[in-house]
Structure formats: structure tokens, C-alpha cells
A and B are shown apart, each in its own frame.
Chain A
């Protein structure tokens, strides 16, 4: 079969079939091949999810995680993008600063969590900062490379038309790095979720990471899987949203 001949509808049907088969196998194996204490079972997970949703726990925890993830993502993207543009444009100054930025980048962010808790307590700000620390470097690195890769001819062309710095930014630099910003946004979504959940594992009284820890402490396997499932859905939805934005912004390709 040639992949290019597949229609979107048949692709969708195929995906649904794979999903159903996996869930059915899981349900069948559970309690027969493996104890359902270890791997739970889809029906139990669905039950646990329904319970979380009706009791209000789901929204209580999910809203906290979403707020941390999206705020941290936004702050990290903006700061990283600005830093990338400024450093890529500043010539010598960037040569001085670059190794330090990369040294910070190489730190395992998880190890920063205790520091953020010391600074901001276990409230929302320590989580947002954690997410930001994950996202900011990806945004910085992509934008930095993007600005450096801008076609020299385009900048020369703008110069011959006596464009101001601001005009060069809006006509050339931002559109040229749009693809890079969107790439870092896509990578950033996954990292932002990691950041917020890890921060919640370290110390929190609310959030999906907290919900999973709590379920783990009471050996509630279906509860753990339900939490993981919710996080997965959030990642898929956010990623799909970025793909839609990409289609619009990168129409010229």
C-alpha cells in the first residue's frame, strides 16, 4: 500500500481500530495474564475517571495543572524568544553570554525544584517558575538559531530601502522565525507538562501530579492510570492546537 493513497477518513478509522484493539487486549489480559493490581484495567480506569469528574476532584486538580502549564509556557516562550532575538542580534555581547546560557540549560531542571519551593513555597508560583525553566531554553535556542539563519540578502535588501530596526523586525525577523517559534512551542508543550507535574510531585496540595502521588500512596492503580490519561489528553489537545496555528501561519510554504 502506498501511504500517499490513504484518505484522511481511512487513516482515522485505522487509528480508532488500533486504539480499540489495544484497550480490548488490555482488558482481556488484566486479571488473566497479569494481576490487575499492577496494570489495572480500562473499565476500572474509566470508572475512576468518572468518579473524579463527578466529585469535582478532576477539575480542581486539572485546572491547577493547566494554569501552571499555560502560564509557564507563555512566560517561557516570551522570555526565550526575546532573549534569542537580542542575543542573536547583539554580536559580541552574545559571544560573552552564550556559554553561560548553555551552562544553565545543561542543569537538570528537576534539581531546581527544591530551590523554587524555598523561594515561592508550594503555591502556584514555584510550579510556574519550574515550567518556565523548562520552556525558556527551548524557545531561546530555536529562536537564536532562527535569527542567525535569516537570509543575508533579505536584510541587505531591507537596508537598501532604509528600513528602521522595527520595520526589519516586523517584515523580516518575526516572519522568518515564526516556524522556529512554533517548533519550540510544540516541544515546549511536552516540557511544560513535565515541568508542572514534576513540581507538583515535589510538593503540592493540588494538581494532576498531586492527584497521581495521592493515588500512588493509597495503592490506587486505576487512579494513577486515570491521572496519566488526563495528562496525555491535555498534551494531545494542546499539540493539535499548535498544528492548527502552524497551518495558518506557515501558509506561504
Chain B
């Protein structure tokens, strides 16, 4: 079976101030259909760059990227991105933000509204359709962004530290809700985070990246049973073992004083 996403030997270089900087060098990763893959790594290691390449926003400098076996050419079909800073349109209401992908596709108005209502209930924002993003908390805005991506109904979700800017408590809440929703829709996910615990609690597989130029240096299969409880799973011995292994892999190339 062809993997949902196949990245082989990806290389991404930027030109800045006349110098060429390598952001990603030889990254290889495959995501199976319906698989949830989390990527952790030091900041600036090119995790986000990989996602932007897959979304068709940055052209790769080398290597091979295939979605559903098809080589990348512009923005691929069926790929939905959740941005780190929710990327909501501030001048549109919650309803209009969520219906954006449906409106772009030219769906009839009544169908747009019905789908928006269903999704807002799913992300537990039933009463907020007419609010502007400014009036919502960070966690609620994330849910709107999530609902918008769900409206697009992609078969591959790209999530760029989606819960990064939230406070610890909100992160737990929205993480649990997201895991819940994902376990129902069962789509492929590439999830970038700097939070190892979050990665283990959510993913089927956790990949660890090296510092810049980034490449995948270790992979861990997360064999915790599903459905998982996003918080309670953290107190099981198996979780602790995985946590220790992944931390070890992460800090392997950190400065010596941090390792000891």
C-alpha cells in the first residue's frame, strides 16, 4: 500500500543575506494512511519547514515528497494545515471563518451553515458562531482553527505546534478534545510539537529530529493502547519508559552541561 505521505532525502535551503542556509538536510519519513506521527526536535531544527514543504508553501531544494504516491506539484489535494498562530481572519465571525473552505469550494449556503453548525458543536463552540476572533480566548481560537480545517475535510492534517502558544491547562483540555475528535475521524496527522509528553500521548509514532540542518535521527513506536486517555496515560509505566527514551534521544546532541 502506498503511504499517505512519503518524504525521502528532503533538502531545503534558504537564501538569506546572500548566504545559503540549510534548514533541512536529508529528512526521510513516511506516514501510513490513518497514522498519527508526531515530530519533536530542538527549536529551529526545520520541523515547520518540512510541513510547509508538504503543504506546498515552500519549494524543496532536493529529495522526493509524495502525497498519496503523487509527486508534489504546488498545493497538494486533501492536505489541511493548522497554523501555530491560528491564522483566523480577524474581520470574519467564527461562522465565516469556519465556512471559509466550504465557501471557496462554492458549496450552497444552506449546506455551508449546516456543516458549520455541526463542526462548532463538535469543537464545543456551539453558541459562539457570531463572535469575532478578538472576543475569544486562545483556546477557543484554536478550536475555531481546528473546525475550519475539519471543514476542509483533508485526509492528511499538518499541525505546526498548534497548541504551542497556549497555557498548560488549556493545552491539556484542547489536547484531550483533539485526541477525542481524531480517534473518531481517523485521518493521517503530522503533528509538530516541542512537548514530548504531548507527542507520546497523541501519536502512533514519535520522530526525533536533529538540530539544524534537520534530519530525522530516531523513531519510536508508541505502543500504548487506544483509545487513550490524554492525561491518565501519562501515569502508566510504559509512558514513563518512552518518555525517558525520547528525552534521551533528544538531548543526545545538546551541549554537555545540559545532558548531565
Taking Cβ atoms with an 8 Å cutoff, the residues of A that contact B are 151, 153-154, 156-157, 159-164, 167, 171-172, 175-176, 178, 251-253
Contacts and interface: CB of A to CB of B under 8 A. Distances in A.
Given A159-B56, A172-B89, A178-B91, A153 B83 contact: yes
Contact of B79 (A156, A160, A164, A176): A160
Interface residues of B, number: 21
Given A161-B101, A253-B90, 8 more contacts: A153-B87, A154-B87, A157-B81, A160-B57, A161-B152, A163-B104, A171-B100, A172-B89
Contacts, number: 52
Interface string B89-110: 1111000000011001000000
B91 A175 contact: yes
A176 B100 CA distance: 16
B146 interface: no
A49 B19 CA distance: 70
A147 to B, nearest CB: 15
Contacts of B55: 156, 160
B56 A167 contact: no
14 contacts: A151-B87, A153-B83, A156-B52, A157-B81, A157-B87, A160-B55, A160-B75, A161-B104, A162-B75, A175-B89, A175-B92, A178-B91, A252-B92, A252-B132
Interface string B123-167: 000000000101000000000000000001000000000000000
Interface in B28-82: 52, 55-57, 75, 79-81
Nearest to A249: B91
User: By CB atoms of chain B within 10 A, which of A154, A167, A171, A176 has the most?
Assistant: A171
Nearest to B145: A157
B67 to A, nearest CB: 13
A161 to B, nearest CB: 5
B85 interface: yes
Contact of A252 (B75, B100, B134): B134
Question: Which DSSP category, helix, strand, loop or mixed, fits chain B's interface?
Answer: loop
A156 B91 contact: no
Per DSSP, are chain A's interface residues mostly helix, strand or loop, or mixed?
helix
A176 B134 CA distance: 15
A172 B103 CA distance: 14
A167 B89 CA distance: 13
A241 to B, nearest CB: 21
A151 B101 CA distance: 19
Contacts of B132: 251-252
A160 B80 contact: yes
B101 A156 contact: no
Of the listed residues A151, A157, A162, the one surrounded by the most CB atoms of chain B closer than 10 A to its CB is A157
B152 to A, nearest CB: 6
B81 A154 contact: no
Nearest to B102: A161
A159 B89 contact: no
Nearest to B101: A161
Nearest to A168: B104
B56 A171 contact: no
B91 A157 contact: no
A39 B81 CA distance: 68
Contacts of A154: 87, 89
Nearest to B132: A252
CB-based closest 10 A-B pairs:
A175-B91, A157-B87, A153-B87, A252-B132, A252-B91, A160-B81, A161-B101, A160-B55, A163-B104, A156-B57
